[in-house]
Structure 1
Amino acid sequence: MESQEKQLEQFVDCVQAIGRHMKRSQRNSQDGTEITKTQWLILRFLAKQNGCTIGQLAERLEVRSSSMSQMIDRLELAGTVYREPDKNDARTRIVKLTEAGKEMISKMKHSRMEMIAGPFNQLTQEEQNTLVEIMMKMTTNLKLHGSRCKE
């Protein structure tokens, strides 16, 4: 049991170190573009989904819809997102990236990939595949565990 606890501590330490490194590198590489982690997550999700409702964003980031509305207001003021009426339901608005938002997410994604590529490429192809597979499995298990805790 002690061994597993030690491994868990090492795992958490490693995840935190990677997170700190990515955050520090992001701060150092920003060209005057200030964006919070939450804003990054919103923009990234919108880029993958090609737009979605505030409710969908709130659910994805596990916040209240009213909080998400405020976040979207700030992103709209910054010119990175816009809202348009849903073609199927006029009461609903779809949040989408503006061209500036698409450009910002593309630059930041490229910057993040460059930053992590060096250490990642030090792994063999097999290690890379295994690492990604394990991290995806951990993410899925966290989501499953999280939904059981909420019930």
Structure 2
Amino acid sequence: MKETLLEAIELFEEVIIYGTEHFLKSVQSPIWKEYSPEQIQTLKLLSAYDSLSNGKLAVLQGVHKSAITARLKKLEEKGLILSERAQHDQRTKVVRLTEAGQDILAASNTAINETIANLFDDKISEEELTQFVGTFRKLKDILQMRELDQ
């Protein structure tokens, strides 16, 4: 099992690397020309977590806090996010999506879904897709449980 797990990890990394490169070359959407992948990822994280501090966003994106600050400033100038004091601690600022941010994220998700559907069209069977979804649901559950344990 250890060898199979190592192969799975290696394949996952390769899919991330080559998939990202291929996807960025393939997506045809004005949203992805106006906003960087990092900005879209920030919007996705805010959508998933509702609101986050700058520090938590930096950790989730694997970048220095200064990079997040610059990214958030651009998104706030475009009206996609709102920065406010945390209810539980007035010293902490949190960021959340605005309605405009949700709209941009929805448009981005549509572009992503169409691009991926076109990429895999007739190359992956319904059965393979069902297995893939099942495996990824299980992985998501495992990762979410570990997050709750910490």
How high is the TM-score relative to the length of structure 1? 0.72
- CA gap 1:113/1:70 in 2 versus in 1, 3 angstroms: same
Matches within 5 A, 1:67-106: 67-106=67-106
Once the 2 structures are TM-superposed, how far is the Cα of residue 120 of structure 1 from its aligned partner?
Answer: 3.4
- Alignment of 1:56 with 2:52, yes or no, is no
Query: What letter is aligned with 2:55?
Result: G
User: 1:4-30: per-residue Cα shift (whole Å, max 9, x none)?
Assistant: 9xx89x95766544323311233x321
How far apart, CA to CA, are the structure 2 residues paired with 1:113 and 1:30?
15
Aligned-pair identity in percent equals 24
- CA gap 1:119/1:47 in 2 versus in 1, 3 angstroms: same
Instruction: Tell me the equivalent position of 1:130.
Output: 131
User: 1:34-90: per-residue Cα shift (whole Å, max 9, x none)?
Assistant: 111111110111111111111110110111223212211111112111111111100
Unaligned runs of 5+ in 1: 142-151
- CA gap 1:92/1:134 in 2 versus in 1, 3 angstroms: closer
- Alignment of 1:66 with 2:66, yes or no, is yes
How far apart, CA to CA, are the structure 2 residues paired with 1:130 and 1:44?
25
How high is the TM-score relative to the length of structure 2? 0.72
Q: Give the conservation status (yes or no) of the 8 Å contact 2:32–2:108.
A: no
How far apart, CA to CA, are the structure 2 residues paired with 1:32 and 1:54?
23
- CA gap 1:87/1:113 in 2 versus in 1, 3 angstroms: same
Number of residue pairs the alignment of both structures matches: 133
Once the 2 structures are TM-superposed, how far is the Cα of residue 126 of structure 1 from its aligned partner?
Answer: 2.2
Once the 2 structures are TM-superposed, how far is the Cα of residue 105 of structure 1 from its aligned partner?
Answer: 0.5
- CA gap 1:55/1:96 in 2 versus in 1, 3 angstroms: same
Instruction: Tell me the equivalent position of 1:24.
Output: 25
| Greater relative contact order structure (CA < 8 Å, 6+ sep) | 2
